[in-house]
Amino acid sequence: MRDTAGVLAGGAAPGCHPQRVIRRAARCPSLLLTAALLAACGSGDPATSPSASTEEVSSTAPGSTAPSSATATSGADAPPFEGDTQPATREASADALVTVSDVRTGRQDGYDRVVLETGGTGTPGWDVRYVDEAYSQGSGAPVEVAGDAVLQVTITGAGYPFDTGVEEWSGPDPLPGNGTQTVTEVAWDATFEGTSVAFVGTTGEAPFRVYALEGPTRVVIEVADLG
């Protein structure tokens, strides 16, 4: 699937410089014990520790809900999913004019993820909520979405491709879940009068959360497992 942008790279813990310690110990044998103690007491390599999930680290804008790095851990240490079934909204920046250029789905530990990548200027806003029926904006025609519940994702601050210079995502439509458990598919609607709409089908009204990521700009919707 086209999903997953930005997997965290492993490396030494901040502030630790193993090569410098070894070089100093070689010059001065009395420092060998210090080097050994530092190696024993230093934090583990993030590459071998429970890592943050794909596209998780961000500078989150006010009004959004960002997961902590702990949400990607597995087993008994994983905290409850911090979300609910209430509408989630955030205003776009004053200079926002963006086009949705890509849509991806994916699976994480305990929840599914839908990513809407945008290009253009400014930061998009959103209105994400469960709706009884899916209707196309502008025409009002019903939109078929597989699943027992429908999560309507409205991106605000949107512009047409000829305004933003960004090619709009064109499918596949609907986009199936990529190994997902709760998300069934994503049906793209349209861009109309400053908003772009997608419908996320789910197996039920599960808790969800929404937040923004940068580089490139993305709106991320995460839907918790039911039961």
Phi and psi based region of residue 148 (left: phi greater than 0; alpha: psi -120 to 50; beta: remaining): alpha
Asked if the structure places residue 165 within a domain, the reply is yes
Q: How many domains does the chain have?
A: 1
Asked if the structure places residue 71 within a domain, the reply is no
CB under 8 Å to 34, separation ≥6 — which residues?
21, 25
Asked if the structure places residue 11 within a domain, the reply is no
Asked if the structure places residue 73 within a domain, the reply is no
Asked if the structure places residue 58 within a domain, the reply is no
As a whole number, the mean pLDDT across the chain is 76
The 10s digit of each residue's pLDDT in 165-192 is 999 999 899 999 999 999 999 999 999 9
Above 60 in pLDDT, residue 54? no
Query: Domain span at residue 150?
Result: 83-224
Q: Are 108 and 208 in contact (CB under 8 A)?
A: no
Measured CA distances, 61 to 90, 93, 213, 222 (Å): 9, 10, 9, 17
Which residue in 179, 200, 77 sits closest to 128, CA to CA? 200
Asked if the structure places residue 133 within a domain, the reply is yes
The 10s digit of each residue's pLDDT in 101-147 is 999 999 999 999 999 999 999 999 999 999 999 999 989 999 999 99
The rounded Cα 131 to chain-centroid distance in angstroms is 22
- Give the CATH number, domain containing residue 127: 2.60.40
Burial of 40 (0-12, 13-18, 19+ CB in 10 A): exposed
79 — pLDDT class (breaks 50, 70, 90): low
Asked if the structure places residue 112 within a domain, the reply is yes
